[in-house]
Amino acid sequence: MVYSRVHFNQLLEEQAISRSQIDQLKTENRLLQEKVQCLMKRLFGSSSEKLSPDQLELELEEFRELQEALDLAESKTELAEEEQKQSKRGKRKGLDARIPKDLPTETIIIDPDEVIAHPELYKKIGEERLEQLDITPTQFIKIVTIRNKYKKRDDRSVAPLIAPAPKQLIENSYATVGLVLHIILGKYCDHLPLYRQEQIFKQRFGVEISRKTMGGWMYLVAQWLSLIYEALRNEIRASGYIQADETFIKYQDPKKDYCPNGYLWAYHSPAVGVLFEWHASRAATCLDSMLIGYSGLLQTDGYAGYTSWLNKKSHAAKKASIIHAACWAHARRKFKEVPGNPTAEDVVKLIAKLYRVESKLRDNPDLDRAAYRQEHSAPVLEQIKSILETERFRQLPQSNFGKAIHYTLERWDALNLYLEHDKLEICNNLVENAIRPTAIGKKNFLFFGSPDSGQTSAVIYSLIETCRKLDINPAVYLREILTALPTMNQSEAADWTPARWKSSRENTSA
C-alpha cells in the first residue's frame, strides 16, 4: 500500500494528538493516585493521621475541622519524639497530688474490739492509713419558702406585713439556681442533650421536666448573661489580638424541609477569653459585629471570607488598622497531604523546627520572643522559602505539592508576621481547641431547634469555654454569677467576665 505525503502528515498529526492525550491521562492518573494514597493514609495510617469511615461521610467543613485537630495532635507528637526519642513514663502521682487540697474530708477511725472494751490496757503505737475517694450521687430536693404575714394586734388600719419575695433567676418558675446550673453543665460541659437529661431525671429520680421547659430556661439564662457576654466581647476587642475561625452546626428551619447549615464563629484572645457568635450563614458580613471598629492583629485560616471582608471598599479604613496574619498549621497540613515526596517531607520537618522554637518560648516565658524568633526561626523560614521557590516550577499546579506551594507562597508575608509581633502565635490552634468542645456537643444534639436558638448556645459556650481557657471551674463561676444576676446592675456586668472574676478572687485571697 502506498501512502501519499498528505496521508503521512495526517498520521503524524494523529500520533501527536494521541501522545498528548496519553500524557494528559498519565498526569490525571498521577494526581488521582496522590489523592487515593492520601485517603488511604488517613484511613489506615498511624493513629495520629487516621480517620474512621464514618467521618468520611461528614460534610467538607467538619472534615476540615477534624483534620486540623489531627494535625495538632500529630505536630505535638513529632516535637516530643524529636526532643526525647526514648521517653519514660513518670511515676504515678499520689492521691493528694491528684485531688484538690480543699476537698472535704471524712475521717473514719476503726479500733479493735479488745481496745474498745478495755482502752486502759492498750497504748497507741502507730496507725495504718487508707485513703479513698467517694462521691455523693445527685439528689433532687424540694425547697419550700414560706413568707409569713403579720398584722398589728392593736391597729387594724395598718396593712399586713410580709417579707419581700426574694428575686428569682427565672420568675414564676420552680427552677432554682442549682437546677439551672446542673442542666447547663450537663449540656454545655458534659454534652448531654436536653432530651437525654429529661430521660435521666425521669428514670433515675422520678422527676419529670420536659425538654421544652429546659430549653426555655436556657433561653432566659442566656438573656441574663448577654450583658456579661457583651462585656467579654469588649475585652477581646480591646486586647488587640484576635484569632478567628468558624464551625458549622445544623439548625431546624420551619420554612425548609431539611436542616440547613448555620455557623458558630469563634473569636479567641489568649489570656482573655473566647466569644462565639451564631449566624445562619458563612458570609463575610457575619464579621461586621466583631471587626467593625476593631484595631489590632487578626489571625485566621485561609478562608476567603476574611480577606473578602478586609478588601471591601467600605472597610478600607478598617483594613489599615487590622493586621491580618496567617496560620502555619494550615500550611503544614497541605504538605502532609503530599504522599511519598521527600521534598515535601523536608518542608514538614522544617516546619517542625519552627514549632520547636515556639515550644521553647512557652517553657521559658522570660525569653524575648521577638529576638529569639529572629535568631532561631527566621533562618528556618528562609530555608523553607528557598525550597518552595525552587520547586514551584517543577511541580504541576494541580498536584497536591503544587497546591501546597501555591497556598504557602501566596500567604508568605502573612505567615511571617509572627516574627515582627511577639504577641502573635505561630498558628491558630488555640482557637481550634476552643471550638472542639462544641464539635463534640453537636454530634450529640445534632442540630439547634430553631434559627434563633443558636445564639443561646453561643452565649453560654462563650462563658464556659473562657472558663476552661483561664483554668476556672465553670460550676463555681456560674453558680456565683447566676445567684448575683437578679440583683445585678447593668454597670456591674463588666466586672463579672471570667478574667475579671478570677482576678478579683486572686486579689482577695492574696
Output the pTM of the full model: 0.76
The predicted structure's pLDDT at residue 435:
87
Most confident of 68-72, 163-167, 381-385: 381-385
Backbone angles phi, psi at 3, to 5 degrees: -100, 135
For 67, 185, 194, 216, 469, the CA distances from 173, given in Å and listed in that order, are 44, 19, 18, 11, 33
Residues 6 or more apart from 376 whose CB is under 8 A from it?
357, 360
Predicted confidence (pLDDT) at residue 79 exceeds the cutoff of 80: no
Number of domains, the chain? 1
In a domain, 374, yes or no: yes
- What is the mean predicted confidence (pLDDT) over 286-293? 90
Helix (H, G, I), strand (E, B) or coil at 342: helix
Confidence of residue 50 (pLDDT cuts 50, 70, 90): very low
Q: Looking up cell 420554612, which residue turns up? A: 255
- Looking at the chain, the whole-number percentage of residues with pLDDT higher than 70 is 82
In a domain, 258, yes or no: no
In a domain, 72, yes or no: no
Confidence of residue 5 (pLDDT cuts 50, 70, 90): low
Residue 404: which domain range?
Answer: 328-426
In a domain, 345, yes or no: yes
- What is the mean predicted confidence (pLDDT) over 126-133? 86
In a domain, 476, yes or no: no
The predicted structure's pLDDT at residue 164:
87
- Burial code of 463-483, b = ≥16 C-beta within 10 A, e = fewer? bbbbbbbbebebeebbbebbe
Tell me how far apart the alpha carbons of residues 12 and 116 are, in angstroms, rounded to a whole number. 112
Tell me how far apart the alpha carbons of residues 343 and 401 are, in angstroms, rounded to a whole number. 9
Task: Look at 11 and 100; give whichever has higher pLDDT.
Answer: 100
Residue 152 CB-density burial (10 A; 0-12 exposed, 13-18 middle, 19+ buried): exposed
Confidence of residue 33 (pLDDT cuts 50, 70, 90): low
The predicted structure's pLDDT at residue 229:
94
In a domain, 196, yes or no: no
In a domain, 388, yes or no: yes
Predicted confidence (pLDDT) at residue 454 exceeds the cutoff of 60: yes
In a domain, 391, yes or no: yes
Predicted confidence (pLDDT) at residue 502 exceeds the cutoff of 80: yes
What's the chain's Rg over C-alpha atoms? 31
Q: Per-residue DSSP letters for 354-408? A: HHHHHHHHHH-TTS-HHHHHHHHTHHHHHHHHHHHHHHTTTS-TTSHHHHHHHHH
Tell me how far apart the alpha carbons of residues 274 and 481 are, in angstroms, rounded to a whole number. 18
The predicted structure's pLDDT at residue 47:
44
Tell me how far apart the alpha carbons of residues 5 and 252 are, in angstroms, rounded to a whole number. 72
The predicted structure's pLDDT at residue 371:
92
3-state SS of 460-491? HHHHHHHHHHCCCCHHHHHHHHHHHHHHCCHH
